[in-house]
Amino acid sequence: MHKQNFKIILSFLLILVSNFILAQKKFTVVLDAGHGGSDHGAYRNYADIGRVAEKDVTLAITLKVGAMLEKNKDFKVIYTRKIDEYPSLSDRTNLANRSKADLFVSIHCNSSQRPTAYGTETYVQGPNQNDTNLEVAKRENDVIYLDEKDKQIFGSYDPTSPESLIALKLQQSKYLESSLLLGGLVEGNFVNRDKRFSRGVFQKNLHVLRMNAMPSVLIETGFINHPEESHYLASEKGQDEISQSIYLAIIDYKKAIDRKSGGNSYATKKVEPEKLAEVPLKNDFRILLMSSPTKYNDGDPALKGLNYILTIKENGQYKYYYSVTNMASVKDINLKTAKDAGFRNAYAVGFMPNQKLSSGYYTLEVYTGDKLNANSFIIQTLKDVERNKENGVFYYTYGKVYTLEDAVKLQKEIEAKGIKNTVIQKVYK
Ligand SMILES: [Zn+2]
């Protein structure tokens, strides 16, 4: 063989190999232009520029973000739509799940009854204590929610078992932290680069966020019904600025994730053999976030965006526990998640499963405050509610059970009847 030819073939092979390695490491982003086809989304007609329809604005911005990402060889871009058509919400999330995307970004425009409302906001998956949502998610998505590592840990379990539900919850809480990161970057860019007004990052229970097995955000890029903002949304300048801000946020997000993980969080990691053989612990472990005399409901900023919190009142103090597991590796992840969220002093507490209290019982604190009227929903719904009074404040409790598991069960039962934000209370005799 001619020496020159050999060199050419060798360099060609090298390019092939390096392209293969690069292809392995691509970060897949699903871009979802909201609405489309017969679904116009929000729209307004203006005398000077005619109709501004959400479906057109979202598509224009999405295509611009995609074009910028596609120039970067670290990224693979998948669009839920590139033309004026309407994929269903399930089509959109199924596509994202099937393609094992690393990130899902849904782009929308807002509208409000109040004509003065304006600004941007970004949504991440909302407080999801509601187990019916998890049940639906589990039924419809089944194992797709489990990544490779969790499948190794939980795969041998019956999918209807509590352990699988815990895995599912764990997955969702992992996505939440990353989704919040991207949401903050997007809104930060809108404010700092584009001088927009940001309404903030919020949690909301939306299909495209709930059903995705990856970090996901939904960006409301501005209000269609606000005349000034609508003109901005419809303009080339506005669409360029918005898409650049979203693009740069995605770039920074990937950098942050790479830094955290040493560069391959989104690639499937090899599972070490000892992980496969991990034996469940005797105790359940919950992460104690804090004790406080104040009661915080789901979604309260004091809980720093964490879900799956169990509150137990003991001696007048509310103790906030995050997640539950009987796997040592998962316990460590949960503790890290809690610390990363800002609970620096969090630690793991062991609970013996189904342990009966010997010198007391559990009851549910269903209400504190003013005296309840006999026609009130709580009194009407729960016949055997008990009334107590302490320091001039009334508090109402319901039920008497002897294990924490029974207390959680009782809490779910009355939640299904519409009585939310109850607290399990430990009473000593
Ligand atoms: Zn929309």
Residues linked to residue 122 through DSSP beta bridges, in sequence order: 201, 219
Cα of 13 vs centre of ligand 1, distance in Å, is 47
Asked if residue 218 has pLDDT above 60, the reply is: yes
Look up tokens 């670290």; give the residue: 74
In the predicted structure, residue 374 carries a pLDDT above the cut 70:
yes
Instruction: Tell me which amino acid residue 208 is.
Output: V
Give the chain's domains with CATH numbers.
19-261 (3.40.630.40), 277-428 (no CATH)
Q: How far is the CA of 34 from the centre of ligand 1 (A)?
A: 5
CA of 187 to the centre of ligand 1 (A): 17
Distance 205 CA to ligand 1 centre (A): 14
Q: Which of 387, 397, 393 is nearest to 369 (CA)?
A: 393
Span from the CA of 255 to the centroid of ligand 1 (angstroms): 29
For residue 41, how far is its CA from the centre of ligand 1 (angstroms)? 5
For ligand 1, the distance from its centroid to the CA atom of residue 42, given in whole angstroms, is 7
**Distance in Å, CA 54 to ligand 1 centroid:** 7
Over pLDDT 90: what percentage of the chain?
A: 39
Per-residue pLDDT of 331-349, as tens digits, reads 776 787 788 778 888 888 8
Task: Tell me what the mean pLDDT of segment 27-39 comes to.
Answer: 95
Please report which confidence band the pLDDT of residue 151 belongs to, taking 50, 70 and 90 as the band edges.
Answer: very low
Q: How far does the centroid of ligand 1 lie from the alpha carbon of residue 219, in Å?
A: 9
Strands 423-428 and 309-314: parallel
Residue at token pair 């009987």: 326
Is the distance from CB of 306 to CB of 169 less than 8 angstroms? Answer: no
- pLDDT at res. 266: 47
Q: How far is CA 273 from the centre of its chain?
A: 30
Q: Grade residue 132 by pLDDT with cuts at 50, 70 and 90.
A: very low
pLDDT at 58: 97
Distance from Cα 35 to the centre of ligand 1, integer Å: 6
Lowest mean pLDDT among 258-267, 291-300, 414-423: 258-267
Are 363 and 357 in contact, with CB atoms under 8 Å apart?
Answer: no
Centre of ligand 1 from the C-alpha of residue 163, in Å = 36
Closest-CA residue to 101 (of 247, 266, 237): 266
Residues contacting residue 423 through CB under 8 Å, at least 6 positions apart: 295, 311, 312, 313, 318, 364, 365
Q: Please count the other Cβ atoms lying within 10 Å of the Cβ belonging to residue 231.
A: 14
Q: How far is the CA of 208 from the centre of ligand 1 (A)?
A: 11
Task: Give the tens place of pLDDT for each residue, 74-123.
Answer: 999 999 999 999 998 888 988 998 888 999 999 999 998 888 899 999 99
Average confidence score pLDDT of the chain = 81
Provide the pLDDT for residue 306.
Answer: 74
Q: How far is the CA of 39 from the centre of ligand 1 (A)?
A: 10
Can you tell me the distance from the alpha carbon of 93 to that of 197, in angstroms, rounded to the nearest whole number?
Answer: 29
DSSP codes, 362-407: EEEEEEEESPPPTTSHHHHH-TT-EEEEETTEEEEEEEEESSHHHH
Q: For residue 55, report the distance from its CA to the centre of ligand 1, in Å.
A: 8
- pLDDT given for residue 142 in this prediction: 39
CA of 220 to the centre of ligand 1 (A): 7
Whole-number Å distance, alpha carbon 82 to ligand 1 midpoint, is 16
Indicate if the pLDDT at residue 272 is higher than 90: no
CA of 161 to the centre of ligand 1 (A): 36
Q: Are 185 and 253 in contact (CB under 8 A)?
A: yes
297 vs 85, more confident? 85
Ligand 1 centroid – CA 290 distance (Å): 38
Distance 28 CA to ligand 1 centre (A): 23
What is the bridge-based pairing of β-strands 317-325 and 284-292? antiparallel
Identify the pLDDT of residue 146: 41
The answer to whether 69 touches 20, Cβ cutoff 8 Å, is no
Q: Which residues contact 90 (CB under 8 A, 6 or more apart)?
A: 207, 211
What spacing in Å lies between the alpha carbon of 109 and ligand 1's midpoint?
Answer: 5
